[in-house]
Amino acid sequence: MLSEVTAVRYVTPLREGGSLPGVVEADDHGTYGTYVIKFTGAGQGRKTLVAEVICGELARRLGLRVPRLVGIRLDPVLGLGEPDERVQELLKASGGLNLGMDFLSGALGFDPLAFHVGPAEAGRIVWFDALINNVDRSWRNPNLLCLHGDLWLIDHGASMIWHHNWRTAETAAAKPYDASDHVLAPYGPDIEAAAAELAPLVTEELLTEVVAEVPTPWLTDEPGFDTPDDVRRAYVAALLPRAGTIHERITLPDTEPKTGPETESETEPRGAAK
């Protein structure tokens, strides 16, 4: 289960996101830190947060960089001084446990004109996005941050679209992945190498460990399931077979790879998010 911190101050909304996430300061057992918070009361609902946890924690275990995820306990009273009525309503609707992620101070949004990605790292990210069916990593909305020469993956709430209609999950999870609009498609991603490296790591044991991180209240009363553990097993059942074959069903554009200096993250050993 995610570790939990307690919000002590609401700092500001992040108006770039459709769900209106915000920045808070929180107490992590005596250590204070800054986090991006995503709310249970947002219009997209708790499944967005479930997707964030499963995909983020899976990415971390596969060696991709993702900001540390935590549960954030929120008292709605923290928003009383916020002048925006929409933010006030969102905070009122989100008392209790929400999702937080480390705020990466100094990170910049990914700019294809200023940052080159090598084929190996591009391949790993595209393969991972295909596994989780992430439709939200396009050039219009890369959902990548650059910090000290490294790429960090954020915002996976639009992934695993099959969990919005579990009756079609088996069919949906078997579909191919169209990466023609992926922001890293022009960098010649080495999908075969990524699959050879990462697919064997996606075991039933690993996926079971990952879905165990999702807070139980976010899986409770899911239509068609008797218990939260049944929902967890459904996520494992959808992702496990996809890992072994999705590399054969990734569609990339027929373009020449971009060239340029390797990124720092391609020339130095990779590491999981701190």
* Residues contacting 12, CB < 8 A, separation 6+: 22, 23
Question: Given this model, what pLDDT does residue 112 score?
Answer: 86
pLDDT of amino acid 255: 53
Q: How many C-beta neighbours within 10 Å does residue 267 have?
A: 10
Dist CA 131 CA 119 (whole Å): 18
Can you read off the two tokens belonging to residue 36? 């991006």
Q: What is the pLDDT of residue 137?
A: 95
Classify 243 as helix, strand or coil.
helix
pLDDT at 134: 97
Amino acid found at 28 = D
Q: Any idea which residue has 């549960």 for tokens? A: 71
Tokens describing residue 50: 């479930």
The answer to whether 38 touches 21, Cβ cutoff 8 Å, is: yes
What do you get for the CA distance between the two ends of the chain, in Å? 17
Position 261 scores a pLDDT of 46
Backbone angles phi, psi at 87, to 5 degrees: -65, -40
Strand partners, 34: 25
pLDDT by residue, tens only, the chain of 274 residues: 899 999 999 999 887 656 789 999 999 989 999 999 999 998 878 999 999 999 999 999 999 999 999 999 999 888 787 788 888 899 999 999 999 999 999 999 999 888 899 999 999 999 999 999 999 999 999 999 999 999 999 999 999 999 999 999 888 888 999 999 999 999 999 999 999 999 999 999 999 999 999 999 999 999 999 999 999 999 999 999 999 999 999 999 875 555 544 444 443 333 333 3
**Confidence at residue 262, expressed as pLDDT on a 0 to 100 scale:** 45
In this prediction, residue 257 carries a pLDDT of: 53
Q: pTM (2 decimals)?
A: 0.90
